[in-house]
């Protein structure tokens, strides 16, 4: 029997479950951004402090990287070097799931860039330890930008409609050396969108307008494929909960020498008064209606790699640009049900940027019973699908995934 579905042009707008059919459940999100300056992860890289693995209380990790490869013409115009993104995912997986046996972790990536292999569960491994392991449900690279989403194993069954959208804003306004990789999914009945950005660089006055333009371009051009089975949002700002993060590249509008003095004195409030991002937001020229936590940490850019010293003019080395310290790496959020609990930086010295992270509590709508969910789908969302599809077939339709994303 042929399955009858509604036309893509059909203007059906399915209703949401009513409030009396919903419970609210809280989940803890870990979101972080890190410009790694084209440096691949060394074999001895320790990510435990950054990922806060000792706390072990997070449900979802969303990690965004910039410049996982150098932004050379070959990397911008040529094929993506997935080997590097796979190595980052390998290190992250090993860190998040450190409780597994060392033998099994070593088998998964015996060679740099080797694809993940499946191995039988070792005898004596508890079901609880398996379901609590973090799994990568989305991983997508665009030139130097990489986004990966890791969830507890027992949450995977509640996540549907994973999708990605890449928007290049770089050379000629289209190439991927700058821009954003956006990912979306639905957890229970709440839609999430995470936007990892790398906006236009430049420390001159007026360069902030290029960054504003990039951000507007990302909001305008980013679009997710239309989903027939659910009324899923297509645009970034139509999602229930949105987090935008990355190397936004906004600088401090003060003379370089004065900026350095104020940084040494830790005069954050004075510096933040001249922070370009906050200035553009207050003037209504960018990110109107978005939120950012209080900044009580040192500027995250620009350091000499493998040191705690901010980059500056080196006598005798001509041609080096003078880059004053700045809070280039930021995390913003929008939507109801998100509460930021923590906003700070970490002290990895791998690159010229420090990673920035934010911890959120997300309120998620969860159907109270399976019967209410079943009746909702059959009566409200699938009235044009033949009614003799059983629940198993229905769930199969609901969990079909768009092939646009890459997962590990």
CATH number at residue 283: 3.60.10.10
Q: What are phi and psi of 380, to 5 degrees?
A: -105, -40
Q: Is a pLDDT exceeding 80 seen at residue 282?
A: yes
Query: What is the model's pLDDT at position 372?
Result: 53
- Residue 206: pLDDT band with limits 50, 70, 90: very high
Query: What is the model's pLDDT at position 15?
Result: 54
Mean of all residue pLDDT scores within the chain? 82
Taking the C-alpha atoms of residue 355 and residue 290, their distance in angstroms, rounded to an integer, is 21
Q: Are 240 and 191 in contact (CB under 8 A)?
A: yes
Per-residue pLDDT reduced to its tens digit, 29-84: 999 999 999 999 999 999 999 999 988 799 999 999 999 999 999 888 888 778 99
Q: Which domain holds residue 81?
A: 23-113+131-297+322-378
Query: What is the model's pLDDT at position 231?
Result: 75
Q: Which residue stretches of 151-255 are H helix? A: 207-221
Per-residue pLDDT reduced to its tens digit, 339-353: 999 999 999 999 999
1 burial level (CB within 10 Å; 0-12, 13-18, 19+): exposed
**Global pTM value:** 0.81
Number of domains in the chain: 1
Query: What is the model's pLDDT at position 20?
Result: 73
Name residues whose C-beta falls within 8 Å of residue 146's C-beta, 6 or more positions apart in sequence: 64, 65, 68, 85, 88, 139, 140, 181, 196
Residue 396 lies in a domain: no
DSSP 152-164: EGGGGGGEEEEEE
The residue ranking higher by pLDDT, 368 or 297, is 297
Residue 81 lies in a domain: yes
165 burial level (CB within 10 Å; 0-12, 13-18, 19+): buried
Q: What six digits make up the tokens of 384?
A: 């044009």
Q: Is a pLDDT exceeding 50 seen at residue 187?
A: yes
Query: Within 13 A of 232's CA, how many CA atoms are on the CB side?
Result: 25
Residue 193 lies in a domain: yes
Q: Are 214 and 206 in contact (CB under 8 A)?
A: no
Query: What is the model's pLDDT at position 120?
Result: 40
Residue 69 lies in a domain: yes
Q: Is a pLDDT exceeding 90 seen at residue 126?
A: no
Residue 316 lies in a domain: no
Residue 125 lies in a domain: no
Q: Is a pLDDT exceeding 90 seen at residue 202?
A: yes
- Residue 405: pLDDT band with limits 50, 70, 90: very low
Residue 197 lies in a domain: yes
- Residue 404: pLDDT band with limits 50, 70, 90: very low
Q: Are 367 and 189 in contact (CB under 8 A)?
A: yes
The fraction of the chain above a pLDDT of 70, given in percent, is: 75
């Amino acid at each position: 029997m042929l399955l009858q579905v509604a036309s893509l042009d059909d203007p059906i707008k399915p209703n949401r479950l009513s409030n009396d059919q919903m419970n609210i459940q809280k989940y803890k999100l870990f979101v972080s951004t890190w410009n790694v300056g084209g440096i691949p992860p060394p074999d001895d890289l320790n990510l435990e402090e950054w990922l806060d693995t000792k706390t072990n209380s997070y449900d979802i990790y969303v990690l965004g990287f910039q410049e996982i490869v150098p932004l050379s013409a070959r990397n911008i115009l040529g094929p993506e070097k997935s080997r590097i993104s796979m190595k980052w995912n390998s290190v992250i997986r090993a860190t998040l799931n450190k409780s597994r046996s060392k033998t099994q972790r070593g088998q998964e990536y015996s060679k740099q860039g080797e694809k993940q292999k499946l191995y039988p569960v070792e005898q004596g491994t508890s079901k609880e330890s398996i379901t609590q392991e973090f799994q990568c449900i989305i991983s997508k690279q665009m030139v130097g930008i990489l986004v990966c989403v890791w969830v507890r194993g027992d949450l995977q069954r509640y996540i549907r409609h994973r999708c990605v959208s890449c928007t290049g804003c770089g050379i000629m306004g289209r190439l991927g050396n700058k821009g954003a990789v956006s990912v979306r999914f639905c957890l229970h009945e709440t839609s999430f969108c995470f936007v990892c950005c790398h906006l236009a660089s430049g420390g001159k006055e007026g360069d902030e307008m290029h960054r504003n333009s990039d951000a507007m371009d990302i909001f305008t051009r980013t679009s997710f494929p239309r989903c027939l089975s659910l009324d899923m949002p297509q645009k970034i700002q139509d999602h229930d909960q949105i987090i935008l993060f990355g190397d936004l590249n906004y600088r401090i509008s003060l003379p370089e020498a004065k900026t350095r003095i104020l940084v040494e004195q830790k005069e954050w409030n004075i510096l933040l008064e001249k922070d370009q991002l906050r200035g553009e937001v207050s003037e209504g020229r960018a990110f109107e209606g978005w939120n950012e936590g209080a900044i009580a940490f040192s500027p995250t850019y620009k350091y000499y790699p493998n040191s705690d010293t901010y980059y500056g003019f080196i006598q005798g080395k001509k041609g080096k640009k003078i880059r004053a310290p700045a809070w280039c790496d930021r995390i913003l959020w929008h939507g109801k049900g998100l509460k930021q609990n923590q906003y700070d930086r970490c002290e990895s010295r791998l690159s010229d940027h420090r990673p920035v992270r934010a911890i959120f509590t997300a309120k998620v709508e969860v159907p109270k019973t399976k019967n209410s969910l079943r009746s909702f789908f059959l009566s409200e969302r699938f009235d044009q699908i033949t009614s003799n599809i059983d629940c198993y077939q229905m769930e199969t339709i609901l969990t079909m995934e768009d092939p646009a994303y890459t997962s590990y």
